Structure 1
């Protein structure tokens, strides 16, 4: 039992470690960039550039913590769904739901501590390696930045707290497990049952509307002060939290549309139906990737808008902005690498949940084998299901990211020239193409292990599972 529990918790440890690495590396790299900017003869005299860098770093650290918390909560919820029968057995012999939930939260605390420790070491090493590479290639000058920075404890503490809280939130399913499920089959709630959860649905609507209001307030404040982006960030987090809570309502229609494009073969039709048959399971698998794609798109649109504004200013006043493009390119390149960590965290979350989901559907896969599906059809079904989930999440994330990216650019840059101005959103076409290519690769990666596991299911053994 201990081995089984460790096996289904390593995905959570991986997410916590990546989140810790992201936060610590981002803090170090921000310090390195600040030191390089301060030493530069051109940018060192610009308080605006330093201010923007500090604000952007703050925004990304908060976003990193948020992404890891959501992905961790979804991963824990999937783990709990797979432990339903075990939890029900423990309930049957006298254990309480609260005791089981406390045990899972305690596991989350331990995993958070381990992930934070790994993150401090790995994040510091990554930042040091990036500096050495940048200095060796004359991308940035050598600085006197001190890596023994006590501030790195902050993202580590954030990882511990968020992993613990996310485990507590993700384990709320334990409260709905009944002892009778130990001798019967349990199933994910369907769309009608989820629709009856009025408190959750109402909370999703309230958070989305309130967040949208803050986004508008941030855009308006950004016409005079760049601090409007902080209000906009709060609005973005609130509104996106509403989308996360309502993902079981938002994602099924998108999945249904994508599923129709997969074709009419039995494997494709069954994959499309699987994607919408259990909305909660599908939303857990897709929402992490939606967050990652939204984050990458938001960053790309915001920075492309920033680049366009600075290049236009350089064209008008070349003597003032001479040399700014090189430092801007370095800053964007570094943050692009770092922001990719959030996408990796989200992608790993989807791979984890898809793999766990297939592992928990042994009986379903066995029934398909008994009904005549061969191993090749099962593999096609898993790949098609992965493609539907990945494409739906990618398209949704691009649409949301474009909106959030423009709001971020407008609230950050709307008043940077001393007077209110409308910021045209930059369109990073290369990034959009890269995301679609990455979605295709993720489909293949996410389906490899689940497809192999599905093909090993024997009909007789699967039908014997209760």
Structure 2
């Protein structure tokens, strides 16, 4: 039987191509995911470790309430064997320059080059007070160079003038990303740092690498100062510890990618099982003949499983090789990109081993049911295709009961999770209901394909034949549609969930931030306001002056004035526009009237109108109270729609520069909304790209089903040709079959995905805001069209092969 199995693989290799492609893609995805995990860890070590790469010992406090102090530093400096010591001090500061202001992380330089991690590009590192170095990227962005003068200030308003003496290479440390990186001497950093002084780490250069004896000596010195919660690690151990701290001890990226790899494996298993079922059905006479010459049931079963083993091993090895080569090439290219030189590829024995084992097991398990079906071949009997699961047989009834229970129980759990806004209930409930639908798919998918197939009737005989052929083998059609259904459902779920979450978040922001951009109180000139109004991307700019304050129990609360015309320009909700003779208070105010005290006049009791939002200052109409001369004012800005996060961040800096304020004083819902939408768009793009692997595998299954169906129906197709069916009509018939299966699977997937996406968004965001379904009809239509076109493309090769065979050759085929 071993020779029979090997002969089958060798002789009919073409029949195993789709199985091999499906397994190869799934295993390659899995191995690449594991390599992403190991390479990510290696890359993080290369980036985080840059801060410690020259130290033999790194001391950190593990109790944030008791950071490292000067006493700790002085104690370890005196330990025998310590050559150099560096207490790392940092401060978050605001930097003002000619071109504007920006945030920066200021860190003190090491006392010697032996522990200095910063890489000099130009100039000289700071060695005296009032000298700073800045990373080259920030310097170019802020138009700074060696010799430029800047002002450094902390949150308390303490300032220091400094001259740029050097440009340094930007740090790869993820904790330092998002802001400028600057170095200065300890004399410059200390006055700007939080008091009492606390150090991030204490780094030591020793006579020899850190040993247990030197570690014990350092620990005794620390304990003598009263420090009890700390770590003393070498540079590799320290970077690993920091990495675990940043990820919570888990590799979240790898976990997420493994979830998508699991989806790809499930889809591949469906394709493999479907393909082997068709192969067994095609070899009925051959299997019956083997039984006649003495082969028993176990030998027949083992023969099919051996075929699966050979295909699984070869395909898995190819997938592993492609994954390793692809990841190595990707990291090599990434390391040549400026700013990503630290990207590191790290292979390990676990990834290919797991990939090979999973690939082989997947193929064997998927082939197990077809292999058992093969043993049903009785001697002197031609095997018929296995009876499909329907309501008229035991298999169908059992599948219906299990699937129905999962649909009901899972659906109730999903609904409960959505109502209670609990993802921990909704996610398993949704998964259970979806599995139930897949189990019951054989009961409704063929009927749907048959019903939709009536739309192909205008195509004439090819259209009618396509509808019939698509449901000739309901089990095979269902398995093929199910593989595509999984991918389309998940993509549709992500698209709908993202659109619903974006809509809910936008609505929440509009409730909290009725103005696009708001600048804090200041004395702004008309020229400054005009400069802001003339900026590209700004449509309206209004100064909202402080006209007085509340009296009585709310004494001291500022009151701002706005004209009716300006309110109409900036505020879209009529309830947020204060009318003459009223006070407009934030949502939730219980009082019905309050006294207001304006400059130069007595307190006046005014009735209260409530705004629809929480985050709105107390407002009065300027017809009720006029603005005093020289009053401080807020600046309210309305922006042109459609600007992305990068444009808004650039505009934020321009507004701050025009008004002479710091960047952080320019805030508003538009900036938060853009950041949130950017995150959603990136996640959606990544998730859709990952799920594309599963959809690609499913489309391989569609092409494979059609190819095997063509082989199965060689004589039938030849007879149709002999009766007058043209090559073009034959190709059209096969194309319509593929489009029917792919289109129906896509339609079902879009409906299910939309429902799951909405309920998922409700369960995740329901506790924060009202979540209304937002169905992106255009995107979902594109998904259906792509699936149909992909199904059409999958039919090209099988259709050409069928049309190429002459009627005479086809009728002569056994």
TM-score normalised over the length of structure 2: 0.49
SS in 2 for 1:263: helix
State the 1:74 CA deviation.
1.2
State how far apart, in whole Å, the 1-side matches of 2:779 and 2:305 are.
Answer: 38
Is 1:20 aligned with 2:214? no
Larger CA deviation: 387-396 vs 126-135: 126-135
SS in 1 for 2:494: helix
Kindly indicate whether the alpha-carbon contact (under 8 Å) linking 1:247 and 1:283 is maintained by their aligned counterparts in 2.
yes
Q: Deviations over 1:70-117 (max 9, x none)?
A: 222112112222222222221221112332222222332333333333
Aligned position for 1:294 = 489
1:218-367, aligned counterparts within 5 Å? Answer: 220-221=416-417, 223=420, 226-228=423-425, 231-232=428-429, 236=431, 238-264=432-458, 265-308=460-503, 316=512, 323=675, 325-367=677-719
State how far apart, in whole Å, the 2-side matches of 1:409 and 1:215 are.
Answer: 16
State how far apart, in whole Å, the 2-side matches of 1:407 and 1:270 are.
Answer: 40
State how far apart, in whole Å, the 1-side matches of 2:401 and 2:700 are.
Answer: 28
1:440-455, aligned counterparts within 5 Å? Answer: 440-455=788-803
State how far apart, in whole Å, the 1-side matches of 2:280 and 2:450 are.
Answer: 27
Q: Deviations over 1:389-432 (max 9, x none)?
A: 22222212212222333344445x247xxx47664445344542
Kindly indicate whether the alpha-carbon contact (under 8 Å) linking 1:215 and 1:407 is maintained by their aligned counterparts in 2.
no
State the 1:433 CA deviation.
3.6
Equivalent residue in structure 2 for 1:171, among 371, 376, 380: 371
State the 1:17 CA deviation.
0.7
State how far apart, in whole Å, the 2-side matches of 1:83 and 1:307 are.
Answer: 54
Is 1:9 aligned with 2:9? no
Equivalent residue in structure 2 for 1:439, among 769, 772, 787: 787
Equivalent residue in structure 2 for 1:69, among 269, 278, 292: 269
State how far apart, in whole Å, the 2-side matches of 1:106 and 1:309 are.
Answer: 54
State how far apart, in whole Å, the 1-side matches of 2:474 and 2:328 are.
Answer: 43
State how far apart, in whole Å, the 1-side matches of 2:38 and 2:294 are.
Answer: 54
Aligned position for 1:39 = 174
State the 1:62 CA deviation.
2.9
Is 1:217 aligned with 2:217? no
Is 1:99 aligned with 2:293? no
Aligned position for 1:123 = 323
State the 1:343 CA deviation.
0.5
Q: Deviations over 1:436-455 (max 9, x none)?
A: 33234323322222222222
Greater relative contact order, per chain length (Cα 8 Å cut-off, separation 6+): 1
The structure that is helix-richer by fraction is 1
TM-score normalised over the length of structure 1: 0.81
Aligned position for 2:62 = none
Larger CA deviation: 324-333 vs 5-14: 324-333
SS in 2 for 1:176: coil
Aligned position for 1:376 = 728
SS in 2 for 1:95: coil
Q: Which of these two proteins has the greater Rg computed from alpha carbons?
A: 2
State how far apart, in whole Å, the 1-side matches of 2:253 and 2:466 are.
Answer: 45
Q: 1:218 to 1:388 in 2, by over 3 A?
A: closer
Kindly indicate whether the alpha-carbon contact (under 8 Å) linking 1:188 and 1:280 is maintained by their aligned counterparts in 2.
no
Q: Deviations over 1:167-195 (max 9, x none)?
A: 1123333133233345xxx554677x844
Q: 1:333 to 1:91 in 2, by over 3 A?
A: same
Aligned position for 2:630 = none
Where structure 2 has 5 or more consecutive residues not aligned to the other structure, the ranges are 1-6, 49-172, 179-242, 513-667
Larger CA deviation: 214-223 vs 446-455: 214-223
Q: 1:247 to 1:215 in 2, by over 3 A?
A: closer
Is 1:110 aligned with 2:310? yes
Q: 1:112 to 1:414 in 2, by over 3 A?
A: farther
